[in-house]
Amino acid sequence: MESLELTVFGLALVCLTIWCVNWIMHIVSLIYGKCCLHKQHADVIVEDLPGISILKPLVGIDPNLFENLETFFNMKYPAYELLFCIQDEFDASRMIVQSLMDKYPAVDAKMFLGGKNVGINPKVNNMVIGYEAAKYDLIMISDSGIKMREDTLIDMAIHMTSKVGLVHQMPYICTRKGFASNLEKMYFGTQHAKIYFLADVLRINCATGMSVLMRKSVLEEAGGLREFGQYLAEDFFMAQAFLDRGWRVKCCSQLALQNSGTYSISHHTRRMCRWMKLRNAMVPTTLLFEPLSLCFVVGLLASWGASYIFDVSPLTFLLVHTLFWFLLDYTRLKQLENASVPFPKFDFVVCWFMNEIGYMLLLVQSHLEPTINWRGRKFRLKWGGVVEEIYTKQLV
């Protein structure tokens, strides 16, 4: 009986330890946001910054595509080139790119059609020709839905110090109309931001490929862009290639502003579920640790632990825990906005609860269905992040 009590006490202590670790994560991420976000670089000599080749893979059109692409033609940076990569020569995005190239003839911009089949990843296949034609050593990959600030390239280039090989932007969401956009902003501005900032502090691979600046020379040592065509999550493996060669991977102070004009709650949940499947395959430890970073999972475990060890009311403990977690998430979102939260407080409450509860359901869903649907194609995911495409027989 004494041995059983000791075991239960140990479990309760573990639950409280997990709870304490999560609060440390909250505090560290808030300090990171205060110290590292939205930096100004007024004293930088811009003319001394190195040239950058920007790869823009495009497939189809989006209501905000013209607006997003135009921001790249208006950046304040001394030397950069835009390399638009379009898989299909009949793709409608080609007309938008051409109209912008005609509107801004002084900007060094080129268009590449067709791509090369170097692996299973359609994004990599699309970019290979543009990558091979890039004239600068610094290569930036930027998704079509990203909207850039005028000084973003300056911020990223400044973070590319002598020991840094890859600079990435933390994903965030532009302020758009509708509840679905608010829900996306809630995910990227709270739970995701907390983990992302902590990973940068601990130098853990958490880079995203939607807006990333890399040294081409180092990427060539790893086999070039084509080497990563075998993975769907090519961004993770590219960042790992830099880390394996002794280079630092660094998050810059500006955010990757996603500004897709097509968005919905269902689109957001499918996207999150796909990312979870990829994380589970590439880093299996996330199967254990990701659920233990959620407010209600941690709160329930800690409530039981506190009630067993300290004989406090588990309900009171859970309510206080939830309230403070909620307030810190609200503070973090304000940090990312660098202003007030851009939607009503009632929407924040609803989105916050939907994000916390729905995330757990998505974790379960990601385990039940191992296949991935992406860009109209279906893939079977294997451990290690390698995928194979699933082909459907056509009936004649």
Q: Name the active-site residue from 62, 155, 235, 329.
A: 235
Q: Please tell me the pTM assigned to this model.
A: 0.92
Count of domains for the chain: 1
pLDDT per position as a tens digit, 99-124: 999 999 999 999 999 999 999 899 99
Residue 380: inside a domain, yes or no? no
pLDDT per position as a tens digit, 128-174: 999 999 999 999 999 999 999 999 999 999 999 999 999 999 999 99
Residue 85: inside a domain, yes or no? yes
> Residue 118 corresponds to which tokens in the numbers above?
């170097």
Residue 167 domain boundaries: 43-174+202-262
Residue 38: inside a domain, yes or no? no
At a CB cut-off of 8 Å and minimum separation 6, what does 201 contact? 28, 32
Asked if residues 282 and 385 have their Cβ atoms less than 8 Å apart, the reply is yes
Asked if residues 317 and 302 have their Cβ atoms less than 8 Å apart, the reply is yes
| Cα–Cα dist 136/138, whole Å | 5
Output the domain CATH number for residue 99.
3.90.550.10
Within the chain, residue ranges assigned H as helices are 2-36, 65-73, 93-103, 122-133, 152-159, 179-189, 191-202, 216-221, 234-244, 265-282, 286-289, 295-310, 314-337, 345-368
Residue 190: inside a domain, yes or no? no
Residue 189: inside a domain, yes or no? no
Residue 316: inside a domain, yes or no? no
342, containing H or E segment? none
Q: What is the identity of the amino acid at 370?
A: P
Asked if residues 293 and 195 have their Cβ atoms less than 8 Å apart, the reply is yes
pLDDT per position as a tens digit, 291-307: 899 999 999 999 999 99
For strand 109-113 and strand 138-142, is the pairing parallel, antiparallel, or unpaired? Answer: unpaired
Annotated catalytic, 43? no
Residue 328: inside a domain, yes or no? no
Residue 276: inside a domain, yes or no? no
pLDDT per position as a tens digit, 164-220: 999 999 999 999 999 999 999 999 999 899 999 999 999 889 898 999 999 999 999
What are the CA-CA distances from residue 312 to residues 10, 286, 308, 316 (Å)? 17, 31, 8, 8
